Amino acid sequence: MRQITHSLAPGVALSGSRLSDVFDPNAGTVQAQVTLGDAALLDRAVAAAAAAQPAWAATNPQRRARVMFEFKRLVEANMEELARLLSSEHGKVIADAKGDIQRGLEVIEFACGIPHALKGEYTQGAGPGIDVYSMRQPLGIGAGITPFNFPAMIPLWMSGIALATGNAFILKPSERDPSVPVRLAELFLEAGLPEGVLQVVQGDKEMVDAILDHPGISAVSFVGSSDIAHYVYRRGVEAGKRVQAMGGAKNHGIVMPDADLDQVVNDLTGAAFGSAGERCMALPVVVPVTDKTANELREALVPAIAKLRIGVSTDADAHYGPVVNAAHKARVEGWIAKGVEEGAELVVDGRGFTLQGHEQGFFIGPSLFDHVTPAMESYREEIFGPVLQMVRAASFEEALALPSQHQYGNGVAIFTRNGHAAREFAHRVNVGMVGINVPIPVPVAYHSFGGWKRSAFGDINQHGMEGVRFWTKTKTITQRWPDGGVGDGANAFVIPTMG
């Protein structure tokens, strides 16, 4: 059986006797085992990172950018291999796997411009003979703890900016699909990244706690569920670290009466069911405004859902594949049962779906609920599967209130032809990322990604200039060059003023 271990610096001995199964979601069978590391392994990885980081930080930004350029080229050259490896462990179809990798590469493209992003500020003549300037310097050693649903994109979001700004980086990927992060680390080395600057440690909660507690790690970036994000944030901050922890989501799509319903149906089927709903930016709640809109939307959605093709991850015609493992399949089906128990109308039931020849695979058909209410637990919590819930609203104000008052505030979308309604919605909604006729409003790499409320803990977002700020610290210098000598010392103890 294939064994997956760590990608570490030379001389860092592998350790860890505990193993975790890695499944083939299409077949429902174990395809590999990953060795889970321990605190002793992390100690050695941090020591290697600490030894390598100063020279990497001293490398000028343009040369660091060249490593990013070469890494991008290598990933593109190996795209097919990476996508198939990703699909084999996660279950998402090949097209989605390539999208996962490509969205990560877009942050690497941004990181290629790091010489410009690191430029500081300068004020000449802030006072008599006094100039003030600032510089951004790396934190030292950063760590990333990433989820199973984007095993390429999110590690690249974190590592690309952290490395480009001169930090060493230790990545702890999900133990459910751990192979792609290791392969990406190998490509970074091939691109010219010095050994020890990037390392991958496999593990579970034991490794997460070791990272959060380790005094040699200055900053931690995390993406996962909200309860764990809150735990990571609290424990990391208590240990004196800078922490950004992105949590769960329950993104809403508001459908105004004037919306193009054909486009809405097309967007919803992709945003709600694509990648089996295992996206923090999926659109699992649709809010049609007025019953007339809801009835027309429902009538159009049912046949569109029936046309969705569920297949193995290598099926080029499949709209989505299996979920990641049996436990997650059971969890999603449990939420469907909960919705029925709470009184929502189950219009389309995806439970019990099997794929011929892959009967043991972790497949779930698409489900559609109508007449869901905000009081239902299945509405309040994240399902993270191919389930779309319809919550009817009588007015724009009622629709606006639903995402604004929800515990999660990651993303939201509004579908309308009315510019004033869209502008008003974008201005007033209490959510971090807004789409206007865009169902999955993930910002491009040179903007930043981050939600509000229980969708994010910490003050600084992912990637873009927010990412640069997270992975660096600002130093400000106030300088004066006297005309002659050291002087008589008369003003040696006086703080210079700008007067």
Say yes or no: 221 and 93 in one domain. Answer: yes
Per the listing, tokens 């007339």 go with: 292
Say yes or no: 379 and 354 in one domain. Answer: yes
Determine the Cα–Cα distance for residues 473 and 485; give it in Å rounded to an integer. 33
Say yes or no: 201 and 60 in one domain. Answer: yes
Say yes or no: 339 and 460 in one domain. Answer: no
Q: How many helices (H) and strands (E) does the chain have?
A: 16, 21
Residue 280 annotated among the catalytic residues of the structure: yes
Determine the Cα–Cα distance for residues 211 and 305; give it in Å rounded to an integer. 43
Q: What is the pLDDT of residues 439-492, one digit of tens each?
A: 999 999 989 999 999 999 998 999 999 999 999 999 999 999 988 655 555 566
- Mean of per-residue pLDDT scores for the chain: 95
Q: What is the pLDDT of residues 227-258, one digit of tens each?
A: 999 999 999 999 999 999 999 999 999 999 99
- Asked whether the predicted pLDDT for residue 309 surpasses 70, the reply is yes
Q: What is the pLDDT of residues 204-228, one digit of tens each?
A: 999 999 999 999 999 999 999 999 9
Amino acid in the structure at residue 314? T
Say yes or no: 205 and 350 in one domain. Answer: no
Kindly state whether residue 13 falls inside one of the protein's structural domains: yes
Say yes or no: 243 and 256 in one domain. Answer: no
Q: What is the pLDDT of residues 64-109, one digit of tens each?
A: 999 999 999 999 999 999 999 999 999 999 999 999 999 999 999 9
- Which pTM was predicted? 0.94
Determine the Cα–Cα distance for residues 424 and 385; give it in Å rounded to an integer. 31
Say yes or no: 79 and 41 in one domain. Answer: yes
Kindly state whether residue 342 falls inside one of the protein's structural domains: yes
- pLDDT computed for residue 63 by the predictor: 97
- Asked whether the predicted pLDDT for residue 496 surpasses 80, the reply is no
- pLDDT computed for residue 489 by the predictor: 57
Among the listed residues 65, 229, 280, 393, the single catalytic one is 280
Write 341-349 long-range contacts (CB < 8 A, 24+).
342/376, 342/377, 342/378, 343/371, 343/373, 343/376, 344/369, 344/370, 344/371, 344/372, 344/373, 344/376, 344/378, 344/389, 345/369, 345/370, 345/371, 347/298, 347/302, 348/302, 348/305, 348/306
**What domain range is 373 assigned to?**
252-436
Residue 469 CB neighbours (<10 A) = 18
Q: What is the CATH number of the domain that holds 233?
A: 3.40.605.10
Angle between helices 94-111 and 153-164 (to 10 degrees): 10
Q: What is the pLDDT of residues 251-291, one digit of tens each?
A: 999 999 999 999 999 999 999 999 999 999 999 999 999 99
- pLDDT computed for residue 458 by the predictor: 94
Q: What is the pLDDT of residues 18-39, one digit of tens each?
A: 999 999 999 999 999 999 999 9
Say yes or no: 216 and 276 in one domain. Answer: no
- pLDDT computed for residue 406 by the predictor: 98
Say yes or no: 104 and 127 in one domain. Answer: yes
Say yes or no: 46 and 96 in one domain. Answer: yes
Kindly state whether residue 277 falls inside one of the protein's structural domains: yes
Determine the Cα–Cα distance for residues 271 and 426; give it in Å rounded to an integer. 19
Q: Which of residues 459 and 319 earns the better pLDDT score?
A: 319
Say yes or no: 241 and 275 in one domain. Answer: no
Kindly state whether residue 235 falls inside one of the protein's structural domains: yes
pLDDT grade, residue 13 (50/70/90)? confident
CA 227 to chain centroid: 16
- pLDDT computed for residue 498 by the predictor: 57
Kindly state whether residue 444 falls inside one of the protein's structural domains: no
- Asked whether the predicted pLDDT for residue 43 surpasses 80, the reply is yes
Q: What is the CATH number of the domain that holds 265?
A: 3.40.309.10
Kindly state whether residue 72 falls inside one of the protein's structural domains: yes
Q: What is the pLDDT of residues 370-405, one digit of tens each?
A: 999 999 999 999 999 999 999 999 999 999 999 999
Kindly state whether residue 176 falls inside one of the protein's structural domains: yes
Determine the Cα–Cα distance for residues 45 and 11; give it in Å rounded to an integer. 10
Say yes or no: 230 and 258 in one domain. Answer: no
Kindly state whether residue 450 falls inside one of the protein's structural domains: no
Looking at the 3D structure of the chain, how many domains does it have? 2
- Asked whether the predicted pLDDT for residue 351 surpasses 80, the reply is yes
